[in-house]
Amino acid sequence: MTYVAYVFRAFAAMLLASSLTACGALGYLSDKVSSATDAMLGLNEPAAPDWSALLLVAAKGARDDRAATVDVVCVSDKNLSQTLSKTAAKDWFDNTDNLLATYAGKINVIRREIVPQQSLVISREALADCVGLTAHLFVDYTSDGLHAVNLDMSANGYKVFLDKSQFHIILTE
């Protein structure tokens, strides 16, 4: 065999070995990312959120100067959790009674009404009743939009700011 053939075979062997190593590394990384994501989303075992509190703050003119309903929803059913992670608030509020009846014992809801220029705290004690694998927040805005967010069960806490036609959240430390 010629020198070029040896070099080519050595290069091919190194390429094959590194490809197999990369596949193993990618599988390992994929497993780690998946388990970290499950832990972040709380998909391991149903539990209450680990939040110190959830603060709701409605700005002047929030929801066109009308009271807003805010639902914190904890879900113990994986399939329902995945569905709710993509559900708009309007769909949640339109189907709440049906979902609560269908998934009795697998959905816990903490509902609060908030008016413009008001702040409400949902304490750790109140959140203890919201046991689930995942947590979702829905606000009943009348404007178009998702108006929903998935919340990390292991976060320290959240501040939710309701504005005229949308809300935003901040993690607390």
Going residue by residue through the chain (173 aa), what tens digit of pLDDT does each one get? 566 666 667 666 666 656 655 555 455 555 545 545 555 554 568 899 989 999 999 999 999 899 999 999 999 999 999 999 999 999 999 999 999 999 999 999 999 999 999 999 999 999 998 999 999 999 999 888 899 999 999 999 999 999 999 999 999 87
Q: Which residue in 19, 114, 17, 97 sits closest to 58, CA to CA?
A: 114
pLDDT for the residue numbered 140: 95
Output the six-digit token pair for 107. Answer: 């959905």
Tally of residues, the chain: 173
Query: In angstroms, rounded to a whole number, what is the distance separating the alpha carbons of residues 166 and 31?
Result: 36
Please name every residue paired with 92 in a beta bridge, in sequence order, or none if there are none: none
Bridge-based pairing state of the strands 148-151 and 158-162: unpaired
Q: What is the pLDDT of residue 171?
A: 93
Residue whose C-alpha is closest to residue 53's, from 139, 170, 168 = 170
Name the token pair of 73.
């929803």
pLDDT at 10: 67
Q: What is the pLDDT of residue 42?
A: 46
Q: What pLDDT, on a 0 to 100 scale, did the predictor assign at position 20?
A: 53
CA distance 169 to 135: 14
